[in-house]
A and B are shown apart, each in its own frame.
Chain A
């Protein structure tokens, strides 16, 4: 490739990067060549392990390429790392904040490191604190900020000296929807000032906010284009499918079993389908097909040739008729205090057999605390909890056979192999003889764990860790399944595959209680409880919640819009009360 032109903020020319050695060799970037134009916002998307973080770190001069050249703002980063670092801003995945230092002290540190003169500093602080609305929290330690505030502080630290080129590594992970929106407003404002931005993200809808998108997979660039152009390339392949009698979830199962269907996602009231190129909609009696515009999620699935889970290809299971009357989980007047901190306030809900029930909210909303109380891992301060008619905290150990549990971060024995983990959980739940063999074989086949049997659970790719955790939780065929943030940190493809599985088990009669901070996953649940700051914001079916947030200017809000509207309303009531 020729020497970089002035109009490119970042140029990769034949860049390769390999980590580790011997058997543990991982090729993060494989002969990657691309150019990122100056003055634009470029999104970096791809599944886990695609090389997004490696690429951003190479651009920040934190890694050295094994082969190839990296030019940032026209300078070779290997030769002039420090000169380049004066001109760029970089925010690492975990924001790079000193948690025991206050907001102001963090700003002071990075201002000095950027070499800002004292005089210029104060004016810049004022601007940044205004931009990030952190002004009132200057004296608060960074560790005590919410996820969204940490993210904004991290950004402010990267922006102290107005950079020519801003690198953001997954800035929106685990951050609430309002903060995500605010971040994108800041990014838009920076672009208006002429700053080039490269941002990696796990949220596919964010791709649509970028001027350019780079799709990365296994260290190679699959595509680089304007997201709108990528979407319009799928013209005529996306449909909104409805059926007068079949429920959405059953319809989705049926659709997924059809060959030309690449992807079927649950939408507000219908199923969104992406067909393989040059195919026609399969014939399903009663189904209404309506052509719709593609979304970026479709582009992602199309370009990455999603591998579909085994059972989806098999015959779709006929949904067991849910005995609507039977209440499996019942929570009344639930409260939990940690010292003075009121973590969960007066939560109430019931879950019926065969339902998928979602607890939604940003990090720190009290979802996990509620969840742990339900599993009997944490006593409630007040209120009643019944799981299959019992309080698990006090019930005899045998009652816990009723539940399967997948913890946050897929807690398994990392130094035990996949087979050893499965064998241990089989024994822990007292599986013996023929049943043990049958269930272990089922787990291996259902979750395609065969090739990984001898691998340590800790070394599995993230998606497979999630599968193994689910397999361990389902070995004893529990009627109730508890899932705590099962999709956090997992790429969009794995998330969609995961939800297909969950729908499958729910259809077969398993009751599922799940927490998530992805608002779009709300559509997969039958009933929801939206939480914020420990309190319930709204409860009901996804349609009911969206309807409650509908307004004149937004008659058909997405779940994220609904959440933001509800939070705004909630905060107003709190303010009025105060």
Chain B
């Protein structure tokens, strides 16, 4: 490596980044756009679920249950006159669930035979349906406890179940979506942007002039790598700042570890981008490949939205070759759990191996020739 030549290449690349709005757009506007979209647009916590309550004969026994639902931030209670209208509303998707207290409910609770409460949920969206079911269950248990206290009789419920949720006690979906999103953004900057800018040099014929100059291939690659590394880390810093200050995601781990892991992942992403561009010399094709092999898998298979533990075993095997999977895991831990070495060290080791692999293969494949 010759310092003067490398400095020349880096200066050129930096000037180009600042002259070309699309590079800055991918590095800074896109993260902003995606973070705002996901941070505000996507929530897996159902709140204010419209629920129809059919109480055939409202009375003092059922009132507390309805009140418990009404006071819950999860529900929006709509009292309904009968099961018939309730069914109609459910099939018209105006309510997501029906809680049906039969007309003999109050009488039954006084007898030995347990009364039944019917809960009908719209199961189309299975996930929301399960959430609704869980929320109703919680409301119901609170009501049970109240009933038993009021009646001063032994608790009908024989197990005192106590849940402790570590790392994210409020179960805010943003807290896990936003850190995962950072991995997606870094993939876009590292792989997509790099693949595009190298392909652009091929398309415009400047690569040919570079190669005819007395530079080494390692210098050309380093001249691409360093500026985009800095750019990517800038995008990363922006995303972390947004996550912490706008979306109030707690950052329990150390910033140093975060920076170190991001640097490693950035190298992997840049390595993938450079490798793609050594295969495809047209921006259109390079862009397509980058989206299909880096962005889409990072989106779906990295554990960013869909938990890898829920996937079938063969799919889980595939996720093991995805760099984004390891970075998402580090991010979710560093943000929510802290510096958990048993997660961070193995994941960072895998990332380091992958970075070496992609950069090594790129260097080995790149010859200073056009054929």
Contact = CB atoms under 8 A, between A and B. Distances in A.
B369 A63 contact: yes
B234 to A, nearest CB: 20
A19 interface: yes
Nearest to B18: A100
A357 interface: no
B11 A114 contact: no
Contact of B8 (A19, A82, A113, A154): A113
Given A82-B216, A90-B212, A113 B9 contact: yes
B19 A100 contact: yes
- The residue in B9, B208, B210, B215 that gathers the most chain A C-beta atoms within 10 A of its C-beta is B208
Interface in B8-41: 8-9, 11-12, 15-16, 19-20
A363 interface: no
A308 interface: no
Given A63-B371, A92-B205, A97-B206, A112 B15 contact: no
B213 interface: yes
B11 A62 contact: no
A19 B371 contact: yes
Contacts of A99: 204
A110 interface: yes
Given A86-B214, A115-B4, A108 B11 contact: yes
A389 to B, nearest CB: 43
A190 interface: no
Contacts of B15: 100-101, 105
B209 interface: yes
A100 B206 CA distance: 12
Contacts of A322: none
B266 to A, nearest CB: 24
Given A61-B212, A90-B212, A92-B205, A101 B370 contact: no
Interface string A105-121: 10011111111000000
B211 interface: yes
A115 B5 contact: yes
Given A19-B371, A98-B206, A101-B15, A60 B212 contact: yes
B9 A101 contact: no
Nearest to B6: A112
Nearest to B368: A81
A157 B205 contact: no
Interface residues of B, number: 28
A97 B206 CA distance: 6
A57 interface: yes
B2 interface: yes
A141 B7 CA distance: 20
B208 A112 contact: no
Contact of A110 (B204, B205, B208, B213): B213
B213 A114 contact: yes
A258 interface: no
A24 to B, nearest CB: 14
Nearest to A78: B369
Interface in B65-102: none
B222 to A, nearest CB: 13
B214 A115 contact: yes
A97 B201 CA distance: 10
A76 interface: no
Interface in A88-138: 88, 90-101, 105, 108-115
A98 B12 contact: yes
A113 B370 contact: no
B320 to A, nearest CB: 35
B209 A90 contact: yes
A101 B8 contact: no
Contacts of A92: 205, 208-209, 212
Contacts of B7: 112
A109 B8 contact: yes
A114 B5 CA distance: 8
A85 interface: yes
Interface in B184-233: 204-206, 208-216
A156 B360 CA distance: 35
Contacts of A62: 208, 211-212, 368-370
Contacts of B215: 113
Given A109-B9, A112-B5, A85 B204 contact: no
A105 B8 CA distance: 10
Contacts of A191: none
A218 interface: no
A372 interface: no
Given A81-B368, A100-B19, A94 B11 contact: no
Contacts of A97: 206, 209
A220 to B, nearest CB: 20
Nearest to B216: A82
Interface in A151-180: 154, 157
A209 interface: no
A570 interface: no
Given A62-B370, A88-B212, A113-B9, 6 more contacts: A92-B208, A96-B209, A97-B206, A98-B16, A98-B206, A101-B15
30 contacts: A19-B371, A57-B208, A61-B368, A62-B212, A62-B368, A62-B370, A63-B369, A64-B369, A64-B371, A82-B214, A85-B212, A91-B209, A92-B208, A92-B212, A93-B205, A94-B204, A94-B205, A95-B205, A95-B209, A96-B208, A96-B209, A105-B11, A112-B5, A112-B7, A113-B214, A114-B213, A114-B214, A115-B2, A115-B4, A115-B214
Closest 8 CB pairs of A and B: A96-B209, A112-B8, A94-B205, A90-B212, A100-B19, A113-B213, A85-B214, A86-B214
Interface of B: 2, 4-5, 7-9, 11-12, 15-16, 19-20, 204-206, 208-216, 368-371
Interface of A: 19, 57, 60-64, 81-83, 85-86, 88, 90-101, 105, 108-115, 141, 154, 157
